[in-house]
Structures are given as C-alpha cells and as structure tokens.
Amino acid sequence: MEALAGWAYLVIFVLLVLDCLIPALPAEASVITGGALAASGRLHLAVVLVATVAAVVVGDLLMHEAARRGGRQVLDRWLSGDKHRRAIGWVTRLLDRRGGALVAGARFLPFGRTTVAVISGYSRFPRRRFLPAIAVGAVLWGSYTVGLGYLGGNVFAGNPLAAAALGGVLSLLVTGVTTLAQRVRLRVRKVGNP
C-alpha cells in the first residue's frame, strides 16, 4: 500500500503540472481524491498538500516562462485579432495594477490559471512579483481543494469515490456561485455607470 501511495502523490503532481498546459485534465479531481484518501488514512495529508502546492508553482512557472521566452511569437500569430489584443491589453493593465492578487486569485477561476500564467509571461510580468503571488495562490487553492476531499472523506468514511464526488460537487458549486456573483456585480456596476 505504501508503494501505491508514492505513485498517488506523483500522479497528483504530474496531472497538476500538465493541467496548466492542457486545462481539460482531471487534475482537480486527483487532488480532491488525494484529500479523501488522506481522510481515510491511505495517504498523508501533508504530502498531498505539498505535492499539490509544488505542482501548481512548477506548472505556472513553466507556462509563464514559455510565454515569456518563445511564446510571444506564437501568441502574436494566434491571437492576431483586435478583440484578442484588447483582451490581452486589459489583462496586462490589470497585472500592472493588481498583479499579485490577480495571479494568486486566478487559480480559483476556470481556465484562469493558464490564462494568467500565459499573459503574465507574454507581458513580461516580473518574476519577483509572479513567484510570491503564485506561491500564495497555490497554498490557498491547494488547501481549499485538498480540504474539500478531506471533508468528503470524513463524511463518506470508507468510500473514497463518494468522498471525491462530494468534494467535486462542492468545488463546482463554489465556483459556480462565485462566478455568478462576479457577473452580477459587473452587471450592477455597468448599469450604475452607463
């Protein structure tokens, strides 16, 4: 069982690193499952959290550096329209004003992690600001996601699949509610400032 646990930590790490490149991977599900397995004593909670945080930092840093070094030419060709240029300009201005908060908070948004890592590299957002922000975001998101699995593991003790499902549903619910709240807030602001 201990040998399998080592593989579980590695799977979590690899999926999270690759998730930055291919956001459709089931990386979040692997972290939630890791938390559920930690609740049942099959994995160590601290090691699941360390693997999660390290993978998020490594994946985001790799994407940031790829966009910073060679990705500019690719992105300039791929995102050639005015709409894309305006969106990149908007995110770049946000990074200038609220860079640390944006980088840390993007981890909680669907596709936010990859988008901010790419745009921050593309716009040459300083590493000295990027690294601490992504570390904070990784710790917060990792604690949240592992915690969902751990909570589910305690609710459905002995059934890690049900525990992981509960964690996944809670995660989708929280993401949905926060996304809806953000859209309502933006609509109210737009109506108030025509």
Mean pLDDT of 85-93: 75
What per-residue confidence (pLDDT) applies to 163?
A: 65
- Tokens 């060679």 correspond to what residue? 70
pLDDT of 98 reads 80
Q: What is the pLDDT of residue 152?
A: 82
Domain that holds residue 185: 2-192
Domain count, the chain: 1
Torsion from C-alpha of 123, 68, 141, 13, nearest 10 degrees: 170
- For residues 19-38, one letter each, b for 16 or more C-beta atoms within 10 angstroms of the residue's C-beta and e for the rest, the string is bbeeeebebbbbbbbbbbbb
What does the alpha-carbon distance between residue 45 and residue 32 come to, in Å, rounded to a whole number?
11
State the pTM of this model.
0.78
State yes or no: pLDDT of 44 exceeds 90: yes
Find the DSSP H helices in 123-156: 127-155
pLDDT (tens digit per residue) in 148-181: 889 888 877 766 667 667 766 776 676 666 667 6
